[in-house]
Structure 1
Amino acid sequence: MINVIWFGILFIGIVFGLASGNGELLSKTIVTTTEDTVQLIVQLLGMMCLWCGVMKIAEKSGLTDKLAKGLKPVLRLIFKEAGQDDKALGAIVMNITANMFGLSNAATPFGIKAMEEMDRLNGHKEKASNDMVLFLILNAACIQFVPTTVVSIRAAVGSANPGAIILPALCVTTSASVIGITLCKLLQKHF
């Protein structure tokens, strides 16, 4: 469905551009935009390699293990079933840890594994368990210590201070996580 929507947006834009006599401007814009996109992707690729390397160093040095050990008692409290299962809790911790460092690409496999493990524990396979819903909320609103993707994009497009986003991102993601967990726990009592 999303492909149909994107095609519709592009088609309407091109038709409108040609009908309004801006065909030359439209073709120049397409060429310029594609060049800029390739340059941005190459710059982001370098930044993502850097941050993935930093994450590997954090992992090898034991920093992620220490963070995971700190998170486990808290996660055991908020996840009823998954908090008691080491496989599910391990995948949840790794996903949240990777997200905290802003490495959503690295967090995705752990998120999929966590959902698979929670589905294994789920007694009602036709619907998501409360733990699965809570995990989805935490995954979407995860606290970001270093929002590497946003910092990378800001650096790639020439921001004077790409790291200026770190403190606001930390405040917003912490608030979103706390509100998400609170609302999820309140709604779990009623549904």
Structure 2
Amino acid sequence: MINFIWMGLIIIGIVVGAINGNMKEINEATFEGAKIGVTICFGLISVLVFWLGLMKIAEESGLLALFAKLLRPVVRFLFPDVPKDSPALGYILSNISANLFGLGNAATPMGLKAMTELQKINPHPDRASSAMITFLALNTSGLTLIPTTIIAIRLNYESANAVEIVGTTLFATCCGTLVAILLDKWYRRKYRSSF
């Protein structure tokens, strides 16, 4: 659906520009936007490769396994209805770990796999289970320790202090995650029978 919305906006913009005689400006903006997009992508690639490399080193050294072990009680508290041996828990832990380090692009495939596994144990396949709702709430709030993607964009635009946003990002995402968890727990208690 979103593709149709974007396509509609682009077509409307081009038609209105043509009617008003602004095709030259539209062409310039199109090429400038493409140039900026490529520049941003290259900047993001370098930072993401760096952090993904560090994540791979952490995985090989056993640090991620230790981190997942530390998070396991929290995940069990948040997802009490997911069986202990479900592969969904591993994907959820991987997704949370990637989001903590600001690697949203790396977290997405793990999040999709987690949802697939949660759907397999969903007693009502025609609607989202409470575990799926909890996971979506956590993923949307996105607790982040190091916002690597934002830092990469700020570095790309030659920010004087690209990492100054770490504190405010941590505060904002902690608040968002806390509210998401509290609302999720409240809704689970209030509407437990309907999930």
Farther off after superposition, 152-161 or 109-118: 109-118
Kindly indicate which of the two structures has a greater share of residues assigned to helix: 1
User: 1:103 corresponds to which residue?
Assistant: 103
Q: Which residues of 2 match residues 19-98 of structure 1 at below 5 A?
A: 19-82=19-82, 84-98=84-98
Once residues 33 and 116 of structure 1 are traced to their aligned partners in structure 2, the CA distance between those partners, rounded to angstroms, is: 36
Q: Which runs of 5+ in 2 are unaligned?
A: none
| Helix, strand or coil at the partner of 1:164 | coil
| Helix, strand or coil at the partner of 1:163 | coil
Q: Which residues of 2 match residues 125-164 of structure 1 at below 5 A?
A: 125-164=125-164
User: 1:10 corresponds to which residue?
Assistant: 10
Once residues 181 and 61 of structure 1 are traced to their aligned partners in structure 2, the CA distance between those partners, rounded to angstroms, is: 31
Aligned structure 1 segments of 4 or more residues deviating by more than 4 angstroms:
none
Provide, for residues 141-165 of structure 1, a one-character-per-residue CA deviation record: whole Å limited to 9, x for no partner: 1210111111111111222111112
TM-score of the superposed pair, with normalisation by structure 2? 0.89
TM-score of the superposed pair, with normalisation by structure 1? 0.91
Once residues 33 and 119 of structure 2 are traced to their aligned partners in structure 1, the CA distance between those partners, rounded to angstroms, is: 43
Once residues 68 and 133 of structure 1 are traced to their aligned partners in structure 2, the CA distance between those partners, rounded to angstroms, is: 21
| CA RMSD across the alignment | 1.7
The answer to whether the 8 A contact 1:44-1:152 is kept is yes
| Helix, strand or coil at the partner of 2:114 | helix
After TM superposition, give the deviation of residue 83 of structure 1 in Å. 5.6
Once residues 138 and 58 of structure 2 are traced to their aligned partners in structure 1, the CA distance between those partners, rounded to angstroms, is: 22
